Amino acid sequence: MRPKTARLGGVLAAGVALTLGLAACGDGGTDAKPADGGSSAAAPSTVKIGFMGDLTGPNAGIVIPPRNGAKLVFDEYNKTNPAVKVELVEYDSQGDPSKAVALAQQAIKTDKVVGLLGPAFSGESAQVGPVLEEAQIPSISASATNTKLAENGWKFWHRVLPNDSVQGPGIADFIAGPVAAKNVFVIDDKSEYGKPLADAVRGQLATKGAKVTNDSLDPAESDYSSVVNKVAASKPDAIFFGGYYAAAGNLLKQLRDKGVKDAKFFSGDGSLDKGLIDGAGAANAEGALVGCPCYIATPDVTDAKVKGFADAYKAAYSADPAIYAAEGYDAATVFAEALKAGNTTPDKINAFIGTVDLAGVSKQVKFAPNGEVEAKDIYIYQVKNGAIALLGKATEAKLG
């Protein structure tokens, strides 16, 4: 149930398989350039790396796990007594792009971070990306999936997961394949995340010959009866919602309350949180399916290395790894390995990221020139007995 290429790397295992990490040191020691951009001072004893995302807002359940994964990396890294330690600085954007921009400016100008994990969501990433690019601060997002983020020509931006142009078709193929749905109702939340993802699902379903009916909702509202009535009238085999779990849970509850009982309910990574179950109610959520470009190390994982990560996560946080915890861990590991190789300035760290080929816990981490990770697996999860269970890769999973 784990990626065949995934091996536990980074801090928990001695000797991570970084193919170019040591090569990156061969620059005559110029990595001693301090984080503030000076050239003559000694290397810093501590560098700051930021983490930005919705840590207290309505969809924080998606962002706290990758923050925890990243913190696990740096806590373990600092315990090894390195010459340069890491201070992880958290920036709680609450998923609001306007807040995220101000926080990015604070991170750059006041805190002088040398790198950023995040932003977590696509909307805030679109606004913060130009700010980071101008300041030449490298970033790696563990969860932003909007396809267009990689089309800006940014040189300092990266993400450690496949985009919506991969996620959407992967979910659609599962809907049209193993589920064999012929009549699908697709709903989006009009957001910079939900709309493009839903469009990707719509487009792929159309190529499969499925009848597709479309609508949108406002996640800020609580009454979705207009959309729900249309779904009931359509009598679909399956429903897909592009949006976050808070709205998805409310929508699913109202659909089931309306009598839409038999249609399979699908959503994307923004709904892969127990908040979907809490919002819909356990009975309504049972059987709901969620696609994700993320790999969650479930409690029954048997691979020793991935299990090591899952055990370390649970020991630190008294919880099993959830959505994007492994991706947050892998993204932070890239920064940690950059520092291990002697890179302490943003430009040196960014150059190192461009050459990394790391066996992570979620996937093989290697970036294309546009910042996209090269691994493309999508996974299908299903609510079973009130919990989220992994069915497997979308290309291999079968309905439980």
Provide, rounded to the nearest whole percent, the portion of the chain with pLDDT above 70: 89
**CA 181 centroid distance within chain:** 28
Q: Are 295 and 303 in contact (CB under 8 A)?
A: no
- The structure tokens 């601060």 sit at 137
In whole angstroms, how far apart are CA 91 and each of 88, 104, 105, 264? Answer: 10, 8, 11, 37
Question: Can you tell me the distance from the alpha carbon of 321 to that of 310, in angstroms, rounded to the nearest whole number?
Answer: 6
Q: Residue 68's closest CA among 235, 283, 309, 344?
A: 309
For CA atoms 118, 269, 314, 359, give the dihedral sign: negative
Query: Tens digits of per-residue pLDDT, 306-324?
Result: 899 999 999 999 999 999 9
The tokens for 253 are 């509850």
Q: Residue 243's closest CA among 194, 177, 308?
A: 194
pLDDT of residue 363: 95
Question: Can you tell me the distance from the alpha carbon of 170 to that of 189, in angstroms, rounded to the nearest whole number?
Answer: 20
Q: Residue 116's closest CA among 367, 357, 334, 294?
A: 334
Amino acid identity at 174: F
pLDDT of residue 212: 98
Question: Can you tell me the distance from the alpha carbon of 386 to that of 281, in angstroms, rounded to the nearest whole number?
Answer: 9
**Close Cβ partners of 347 (under 8 Å, ≥ 6 residues apart):** 136
pLDDT of residue 301: 80
Query: Tens digits of per-residue pLDDT, 180-191?
Result: 999 999 999 999
Query: Tens digits of per-residue pLDDT, 17-33?
Result: 332 222 222 233 333 33
pLDDT band at 400 (very low <50, low <70, confident <90, very high): low
pLDDT of residue 29: 34
Provide, rounded to the nearest whole percent, the portion of the chain with pLDDT above 90: 83
Mean per-residue pLDDT over the chain, rounded? 89
Q: Residue 292's closest CA among 389, 400, 186, 178?
A: 389
SS3 290: strand
Overall average pLDDT of the 267-289 stretch:
96
Overall average pLDDT of the 199-225 stretch:
97
Q: Tell me the domains of the chain and their CATH numbers.
A: 45-163+302-366 (3.40.50.2300), 165-292+379-393 (3.40.50.2300)
Question: Can you tell me the distance from the alpha carbon of 120 to that of 328, in angstroms, rounded to the nearest whole number?
Answer: 10
pLDDT of residue 76: 96
Per DSSP, 361 falls in state S
pLDDT of residue 2: 39
Q: Where are the alpha helices (DSSP H) in 88-140?
A: 97-105, 122-135
The tokens for 211 are 């009848």
pLDDT of residue 258: 97
Question: Can you tell me the distance from the alpha carbon of 301 to that of 312, in angstroms, rounded to the nearest whole number?
Answer: 14
**Close Cβ partners of 126 (under 8 Å, ≥ 6 residues apart):** 97, 146, 148, 149, 192
Per DSSP, 138 falls in state -
Q: Are 243 and 275 in contact (CB under 8 A)?
A: no
DSSP collapsed to 3 states, 168-213: HHHHHHHHHCCCCCCEEEEEECCCCCHHHHHHHHHHHHHHCCCEEE
Is the model's pLDDT at 13 over the cut of 90? no
- The structure tokens 């009535």 sit at 229
Is the model's pLDDT at 160 over the cut of 90? yes
pTM for the model stands at 0.84
Query: Tens digits of per-residue pLDDT, 329-380?
Result: 999 999 999 999 999 999 999 999 999 999 999 999 999 999 999 999 999 9
Query: Tens digits of per-residue pLDDT, 227-239?
Result: 999 999 999 999 9
Query: Tens digits of per-residue pLDDT, 50-107?
Result: 999 999 988 898 999 999 999 999 999 999 989 999 999 999 999 999 999 999 999 9
Overall average pLDDT of the 284-294 stretch:
97
Amino acid identity at 388: I
pLDDT of residue 26: 29
Question: Can you tell me the distance from the alpha carbon of 175 to that of 265, in angstroms, rounded to the nearest whole number?
Answer: 10
pLDDT of residue 37: 42
pLDDT band at 41 (very low <50, low <70, confident <90, very high): low
